[in-house]
Structure 1
């Protein structure tokens, strides 16, 4: 009997190439407060985490003096001003279309607010590649497990093997909580070393992940 598969993709850093924009955005905020800047991608990948409030603490924001909610509003304003110029990684389209040819549908599960997620997929002209877009209801990026659970209540997947593909340990945590398989990609928001601590396969790009899914 053929195993039916569905691939659930993270968005930021997995499909959308936005790491540099995220660094630029947080550095602008740090600069305004005379705080040390993030110097490079390696440093960023070593500190970025979920929930995002913990990341804000690690890079130096004083959450006793400033509200996390206010910082989030400031960050999102700066991010979206810059992110309009972001595009997908070059291998996203061939990778996802290869899965489609094999009858494997794709979804997006993101810690981005639902309307922001849809706006970005429309800007990248890729919305139609996905069977559904699953975002969250606010801008605080605490977690996305509850969004996935709510979606599964309305769209049971009992007969399908679900495979999460992402660039952070939170993607692995979501997959573990839901009993999904997981593949991680190391060119996004967390380093290969951190991702390897999950014990899950860590790939360098989408096409490597797709090959593993089709194996």
Structure 2
């Protein structure tokens, strides 16, 4: 019992590392509203659909800003980021978790699989949102970044691992972007992507990672 018949070794315990925005937090519409308000103020074409948004959004976010039409020769990325975050947080109070987040995480917990969050959100913003959603205690840790510029989150994960080594655990990243797959690949983690967040299935499948439509579809893959 507890042995892999394929390898004859004890199976490592699993930990699930969740992305936050677009994976657990249902905030895509708010993100579109926020960037569209900024685009209209500059007489730039607004994004017309979730599908269009999912196919232009990318990390680092500075590249996304260029794709939607902001002129970074005339305006600084830092100023645009501050304007975006003000608008986002004004609207994000309306956001909640995807309906399957709580039952999915509960099912994992019942199977002895802990969860933590790794996000490209600033650390204090991440905690504020998990508190607003009433889910902070579901997670063994919250890992955010130190600024609002969402360049990447690999370095935050690496810093956390230096303080919290996980040599005997199988880490599984659950996210909604190619950057989640890149982080998992760099760290030697497994990865499952969900296609209802910030990037489209068309983009996500290029990672070669499993792509599902919701959290409950991911659970059997995690526990398998």
TMscore range, shorter length = over 0.9
Residues 1-215 of structure 1: matches in 2 within 5 Å?
1-215=10-224
Shift of 1:3: 2.5
Gaps of 5+ in 1: none
DSSP-derived class of the 2:220 partner:
helix
Counterparts of 1:39 and 1:207 in 2: how far apart (Å)? 29
After TM superposition, the score normalised by the length of structure 2 is 0.95
DSSP-derived class of the 2:191 partner:
strand
- The CA RMSD over aligned residues, in Å, is 0.5
DSSP-derived class of the 1:183 partner:
strand
Counterparts of 2:31 and 2:133 in 1: how far apart (Å)? 17
Counterparts of 1:3 and 1:206 in 2: how far apart (Å)? 22
Counterparts of 1:82 and 1:94 in 2: how far apart (Å)? 26
Counterparts of 2:122 and 2:208 in 1: how far apart (Å)? 29
**Greater CA radius of gyration, 1 or 2?**
2
Shift of 1:152: 0.1
Counterparts of 1:72 and 1:165 in 2: how far apart (Å)? 26
Shift of 1:210: 1.1
Divergent runs of 4+, >2 A: none
Shift of 1:211: 1.4
Deviation per CA, 1:18-62: give whole Å up to 9, x if none.
000000000000000000000000000000000000000000000
Shift of 1:158: 0.3
Counterparts of 2:221 and 2:64 in 1: how far apart (Å)? 31
